[in-house]
Amino acid sequence: MAILTDNEIRDIQKYLQSGKPLPDKYRFLLFEDKREVELVWNGKTNEVCNIVMPFQTIEQVDEPRNDSDSKIQKTMFEFWGLDSRGRQLSGWTNKLIWGDNKLILSSLKNGPLREEIEKQGGIKLIYIDPPFDVGSDFSMKIEVGEDNEEFTKEANILEELAYRDTWGRGADSFIAMIYERLSLMRDLLAEDGSIYVHCDYRVSAYMKLILDEIFSKNNHQNEIIWHFIKGASGNDRFGRKHQTIFFYSKSIDQNIFNRKEIGVAYNPETIARAQRGEARYNVTAEELEERGKNPGDVWSDLHPVQGNSIENTGYSTQKPEVLIERIMKASSNEGDLVCDFFCGAGTTLAVAEKLGRKWIGSDLGKFAIHTTRKRLLGIQRQLKSEGKNYRAFEILNLGKYERQHYIGVNPNLRDKEKQKQLEAKEKDFLKLILHAYKAEAVQNFETFHGKKNNRLVAIGPINLPVTRLFVEEIINECRQKHITKVDILAFEFEMGLFPNIQEEAKSKGIDLSLKYIPRDVFDKRAIEKNQVVFNDVSYIEVKPLYKGKSIAIELTDFSVFYNQDSIKNAEESIKNGGSRIVVENGKIIKVTKSKSGIIEKDVLTKKWTDWIDYWSVDYDFESKKEMIRVEKEKNIKQTGKLYAEDYKKEYEEVWTGDYIFENEWQSFRTKKNRELDFKSNFKELRLGKHKIAIKVVDIFGNDTMKIIEVNVGNK
């Protein structure tokens, strides 16, 4: 510490006694290990999230390779580790994760999946394109109806809250968000791993300082300028025609860099000079053409995604595959594990699949996860047609475990202590939900918690789906006390519960309404602004088709109950000659005002099929149990000495009670092909009873599932 003068000591004491913060000059005088340059912002902390939550597998996607039973095919399947259907049996499964990437990164770093990551050699490359483009983080343009009218799907409340957390305090909140996540990413990287961070003029100055602080300025490899040949122009400034990609390695001298994989063509004049023997260093024209030129750190040869491009998914911030391909070839090898924790439209994962890399991707947007799933399925089909192998991928989330975090329950506690905390917070949780739903609390009921208008309200458990037994208890109390109108609110409902349970209640004179509790109920700001919407559960109708021992599924009906904006608002706000598309009570409606002020309304979703973007079938649901790895409880012997093995985490596999949806057949819309098949392929099943699961994803990216039971050989 520097020697302080009497005046400096007196001034410091005054500041401390008055409770005022010390001016920066005193901070630097007091602490010798100061940095020459330091990035400081409101709320800066060195604390990094260390929460561990088990990942919940909600779906496995693996396009069957071939149905052939030839010996050659069987040999190939055995070599690739596949079953008789050509579906992956063993080895690394790629992972697409929905949720908050801070919790995901923390759980990857500190949880049991870290061990699996290390077995793959660790994460060699991370590419991220975080939300630097303010205002276009979560809204999406989608096509609706027979005429493919373009409609902008606004961010849902959860996405809006993420937007507020990222930009609510401007640069301060953005830096706090990205700093913690980059710290977690650094800890996850292999020692020879690299990270590429994509940004533009809005945050590039902050990003460089953050990366220098986390990765060390000595590990800065390149500041890459991605220059657009075509781009914006302006009359009051120079046109903005580039974005920045920062390239850092985890260590100084171990990072992967494949110079031979990224060469670009020399110009014809250079080749001609080499042919004449005029090239420097005695290099032949053939050698120049084979090796190619180092592209340097200004990339003008890679064009942004065009509107008519086959890879365009509709994301305004989508990056071209060729850009990611150059990065991936440079800083990873075939079979390496690469990651993108802001995966958006899934470009990084698509390129990884094509280049034979293993991958992990995550995003907070449900629509992003759905878009990526369709894109990767398309790539699996493409690779299958080319006779190439591909890996299965699974869709994960933190599901019911994440809710424990939101209400303040520590998931790292032992089960008994965790249960005590859950019970202690149950009352607060119920108050919160009733307040968000605008219902008043009620007493003296066994299954009901509140009342709204003339309907009683029951709230499902915090960390479990509402089961048939739960609903049957509600129906019993209704019959005993002559209750006829009920709302059941839940985070999840047991699969296959509806609409069967509603029909059963209706036959007993009970109007039963099932509604999802949105995750945004945990944000007080959303509740205060009346932004929380409890959507009714969508429902699916299907018909099994029989052909001997084979079964197919026909999709016969689908209903949703969404709202976005309203006809009344549109009528009041649009100008003469203008129009707006709104969603009201499950219909997408185009409201037009003529030049003379006459209002016209055109329903774009004319048929139930207009709401469907994707549907898939698992012909043998309950054939694959969902297992999670949890830490074993240890009884450390008190021998007076503690050894390293006493601290080593050990895990065991536990069945959650749920099953994984195995995506065996699917039909979905693309930008190039808007048609859907509403009858699945026939699948031969063994004789006897089977449960078949049908999943439908609507044009907003929300999914609904129905389970039916069939009896093969006895209709």
The predicted-structure confidence for 602-622, as pLDDT tens digits, reads as follows: 888 889 999 999 999 999 998
| Distance of alpha carbon 555 from alpha carbon 542, whole angstroms | 5
Residue entry with tokens 């040999």: 75
Give the pLDDT confidence score for residue 505 in this predicted structure.
92
Asked if the structure places residue 51 within a domain, the reply is no
CB 274 within 8 A of CB 283: yes
Asked if the structure places residue 578 within a domain, the reply is yes
pLDDT in tens, 577-588: 998 888 887 888
Asked if the structure places residue 243 within a domain, the reply is yes
Take residue 469 and report the two structure tokens written for it: 């037994």
Model confidence at 508: pLDDT above 90: yes
Q: Are residues 114 and 248 in the same domain?
A: yes
Give the rounded distance of the alpha carbon of 124 from its chain centre.
21
Q: What mean pLDDT is predicted for residues 398-424? A: 73
- What amino acid is encoded at 102 in this protein? K
Give the pLDDT confidence score for residue 143 in this predicted structure.
78
Phi first, then psi, for residue 503 (nearest 5°) are -65, -40
Phi first, then psi, for residue 558 (nearest 5°) are -155, 135
Alpha helices in 386-414 (DSSP H): 399-406
Could you give the 3-state DSSP secondary structure of residue 472?
A: helix
> Which H or E element spans position 471?
helix 468-481
**Considering only 207-211, 259-263, 520-524, which range has the smallest mean pLDDT?**
520-524
Question: What is the CATH classification number for the domain harbouring 616?
Answer: 2.60.40
CB 86 within 8 A of CB 381: no
CB 97 within 8 A of CB 364: no
Give the pLDDT confidence score for residue 328 in this predicted structure.
98
Q: Are residues 355 and 426 in the same domain?
A: no
Mean per-residue pLDDT of the chain: 84
| Distance of alpha carbon 343 from alpha carbon 691, whole angstroms | 34
Model confidence at 71: pLDDT above 50: no
Model confidence at 546: pLDDT above 70: yes
Q: What percent of the chain has pLDDT over 90?
A: 41
| Distance of alpha carbon 116 from alpha carbon 121, whole angstroms | 9
Model confidence at 516: pLDDT above 80: yes
**Considering only 37-46, 90-99, 103-112, which range has the smallest mean pLDDT?**
37-46
Model confidence at 689: pLDDT above 60: yes
Asked if the structure places residue 31 within a domain, the reply is no
Among residues 711, 713, 694, the alpha carbon closest in space to that of 703 is found at 694
More confident residue, 445 or 137: 445
Task: Report the DSSP pairing between strands 587-593 and 599-603.
Answer: antiparallel
DSSP assignment of 606-626: -SGGGGEEEEEEETTTTSSEE
Question: What is the CATH classification number for the domain harbouring 494?
Answer: 3.40.1350
Asked if the structure places residue 593 within a domain, the reply is yes
Q: In the structure, what pLDDT confidence band is assigned to residue 496 with cuts at 50, 70 and 90?
A: low
| Distance of alpha carbon 285 from alpha carbon 274, whole angstroms | 5
CB 289 within 8 A of CB 274: no
How many Cβ atoms from other residues are within 10 Å of residue 355's Cβ? 18
Asked if the structure places residue 642 within a domain, the reply is no
> Which H or E element spans position 624?
none
CB 95 within 8 A of CB 361: yes
Q: Are residues 674 and 608 in the same domain?
A: yes
Q: Are residues 562 and 516 in the same domain?
A: no
Take residue 372 and report the two structure tokens written for it: 């990526």
Q: Are residues 516 and 544 in the same domain?
A: no
Take residue 668 and report the two structure tokens written for it: 């979905």
More confident residue, 307 or 114: 114
Take residue 569 and report the two structure tokens written for it: 């608002």
Among residues 312, 359, 381, the alpha carbon closest in space to that of 665 is found at 381
The parent domain of residue 666 ranges over 539-624+660-712
Q: What mean pLDDT is predicted for residues 479-508? A: 84
Model confidence at 628: pLDDT above 60: yes
Q: In the structure, what pLDDT confidence band is assigned to residue 169 with cuts at 50, 70 and 90?
A: low
Q: Which residues pair with 690 in a beta bridge?
A: 710
Give the pLDDT confidence score for residue 69 in this predicted structure.
39
Q: What mean pLDDT is predicted for residues 476-505? A: 85
- What amino acid is encoded at 651 in this protein? Y
Domain boundary residue, one of 375, 397, 419: 397
Could you give the 3-state DSSP secondary structure of residue 388?
A: coil
Model confidence at 113: pLDDT above 90: yes
Exposed e or buried b per residue across 442-475, where buried means at least 16 C-beta atoms within 10 angstroms of its C-beta: eeeeebbbbbeeeebbbbbbbbebbbeebbeebb
Give the pLDDT confidence score for residue 149 in this predicted structure.
76
| CA angle, 59 then 63 then 65, to 5° | 145
pLDDT in tens, 381-410: 999 888 888 899 999 988 667 767 766 777
Give the pLDDT confidence score for residue 161 in this predicted structure.
60
Q: In the structure, what pLDDT confidence band is assigned to residue 647 with cuts at 50, 70 and 90?
A: low
| Distance of alpha carbon 271 from alpha carbon 248, whole angstroms | 33
Q: Are residues 594 and 516 in the same domain?
A: no
Give the pLDDT confidence score for residue 365 in this predicted structure.
82
Among residues 319, 38, 327, 339, the alpha carbon closest in space to that of 184 is found at 339
Q: Are residues 391 and 416 in the same domain?
A: no
Give the pLDDT confidence score for residue 192 in this predicted structure.
96
Asked if the structure places residue 230 within a domain, the reply is yes
Q: What mean pLDDT is predicted for residues 277-288? A: 79
Region of 265 please: left (phi>0), alpha (psi -120 to 50) or beta.
beta
Asked if the structure places residue 12 within a domain, the reply is no
Q: Are residues 91 and 139 in the same domain?
A: yes
Q: Are residues 369 and 435 in the same domain?
A: no
| CA angle, 662 then 667 then 672, to 5° | 135
Q: Are residues 509 and 560 in the same domain?
A: no
Number of domains, the chain: 3
DSSP assignment of 415-456: HHHHHHHHHHHHHHHHHHHHHHHT-EE--S-SS--EEETTEE
pLDDT in tens, 633-646: 655 444 455 555 55
pLDDT in tens, 5-42: 888 888 888 888 887 777 767 766 676 555 566 778 77
Could you give the 3-state DSSP secondary structure of residue 692?
A: strand
Q: What mean pLDDT is predicted for residues 356-372? A: 92
| Distance of alpha carbon 337 from alpha carbon 95, whole angstroms | 11
Q: Are residues 256 and 337 in the same domain?
A: yes
CA distances from 166 to 126, 173, 174, 201, 322 (A): 21, 5, 5, 17, 29
CB 530 within 8 A of CB 510: no
Among residues 577, 598, 575, 579, the alpha carbon closest in space to that of 590 is found at 579
More confident residue, 237 or 136: 237
Model confidence at 476: pLDDT above 90: yes
Q: What mean pLDDT is predicted for residues 57-70? A: 71
Q: What percent of the chain has pLDDT over 70?
A: 84
Global pTM value: 0.82
Domain boundary residue, one of 477, 494, 528: 528
Q: In the structure, what pLDDT confidence band is assigned to residue 70 with cuts at 50, 70 and 90?
A: very low
Give the pLDDT confidence score for residue 210 in this predicted structure.
94
**Considering only 36-45, 284-293, 324-333, which range has the smallest mean pLDDT?**
36-45
Domain boundary residue, one of 497, 528, 559: 528
Give the rounded distance of the alpha carbon of 322 from its chain centre.
23
Angle of helix 204-215 relative to helix 171-188, nearest 10 degrees, comes to: 40
Q: Are residues 563 and 708 in the same domain?
A: yes
CB 486 within 8 A of CB 459: no
Question: What is the CATH classification number for the domain harbouring 100?
Answer: 3.40.50.150
Give the pLDDT confidence score for residue 4 in this predicted structure.
78
Angle of helix 366-385 relative to helix 347-354, nearest 10 degrees, comes to: 20
Q: What mean pLDDT is predicted for residues 272-280? A: 80
Q: What mean pLDDT is predicted for residues 687-702? A: 90
